[in-house]
Chain A
C-alpha cells in the first residue's frame, strides 16, 4: 500500500512569485484535503477535492487554488506569494465518509517566502 507522497519537500520563493505543490494520494483514496500549518500552530483547512471537484473550502483567499486529477493526485497552487504564506503545507487523503474517517497525511512541503 503506497502512502501519501508530497513534492517538493522544501522550497524557497520570493514575495509575488507563484508556487505549485503536488500530492499523490494513498492507494484507493479518492478524496484529498490540503492544510496549512504555520510554525507553532495546528493545521488550518485550505480545501478538499473529491472526484476532481472542490468539495469544501476554508477561510483562504482565491489566490489559493487547487486541482485534482483522474488518478486522484492533486495540486495546490498559490499565486502572489506573501511572507505569511511561509508554512508547512500538508496533503491528506481519505475515503469520503463524512468526516468519520481517518485522514492520511503526507510529510508536507515546507515553503519559505522571502
Chain B
C-alpha cells in the first residue's frame, strides 16, 4: 500500500538559510508524489508534484523536490528561507482508491 513518512514534525531555520523537509515513500507501483502547504486557518495548496519524467521538480515560491527511487525519497528544499514560508508542509502519495495519502506534516518555523 502507498504511504509517506515525514521525518521531523518541526523544523526551524533562520531567514535566508536552506530549507530541507524530508519525506520517504512506500509504494508497490511507480508513485505519484506531491508536496502541499497549509497556512494557518487555510486549506492546502499544491507546491509541486512528481508524476513521470524529470526527477527534479520545481514548484511555486522557489521550492523544489527531487524524486530518488533508490532512496525512496522526495525531499523538499528551498535555497533561502523567507518569513512567509512559515507554514505546515505535507508530503503525499496517490493511492489506489482515488485518494491522496498524506504524511503527518512538518511545521516550518522561520526565525528572523
> Which A residues form the contact surface with B (CB < 8 A)?
4, 33, 35, 40-45, 48, 50, 55-58, 90, 92, 98-100, 102-103, 105-108
Q: Which of B13-21, B39-47, B67-75, B77-85 contacts A (4 or more CB under 8 A)?
A: B39-47
CB-contact partner of B43 in A42, A48, A105, under 8 A: A105
Minimum CB distance partner of B91 in chain A = A42
Contact B41 A45 (CB under 8 A): no
Q: Which of chain B's residues have a CB closer than 8 A to the CB of A45?
A: 95, 97, 99-101
Per the CB 8 Å criterion, the residue count for chain B at the interface is: 23
A103 vs B92: C-alpha distance in the bound complex, in angstroms? 11
Task: Kindly list chain B residues whose C-beta atoms are within 8 Å of the C-beta of A103.
Answer: 36, 44, 46, 100
Count contacts between A and B, CB distance < 8 Å. 64
Contact check, B90 vs A43: say whether CB atoms are below 8 A apart.
yes
Q: Does B98 contact A (CB under 8 A)?
A: yes
Please list 25 pairs of residues, one from A and one from B, whose beta carbons are closer than 8 Å in the complex, sorted by A's number: A4-B43, A33-B98, A33-B100, A35-B102, A40-B104, A40-B105, A42-B90, A42-B103, A43-B102, A44-B102, A45-B99, A45-B101, A48-B98, A55-B98, A56-B97, A56-B98, A58-B97, A99-B98, A100-B32, A100-B49, A100-B94, A103-B36, A103-B46, A105-B45, A107-B41
Q: What residues of chain B have their CB less than 8 Å away from a CB belonging to chain A?
A: 32, 36, 41-46, 49, 51, 90, 92, 94-95, 97-105
Cβ of A58: which chain B residues have Cβ within 8 Å of it? Answer: 97, 99
Complex interface: chain B residues within 8 A of A42 (CB): 90, 92, 102-105
CA distance A90 to B92 in the complex (A): 15
Give A35 to B101 CA distance when docked, in angstroms: 10
Distance to closest chain A CB from B98 (angstroms): 3
B-chain residues with CB within 8 Å of residue A41 when the two chains form the complex: 104-105
Contacts of B101 in A (CB 8 A): 45
Q: Which of B36, B94, B102, B104 contacts A99 (CB 8 A)?
A: B94
Asked if B46 and A102 sit within 8 Å, CB to CB, the answer is yes
Q: Roughly how many angstroms separate A48 CA and B99 CA in the complex, as a whole number?
A: 8
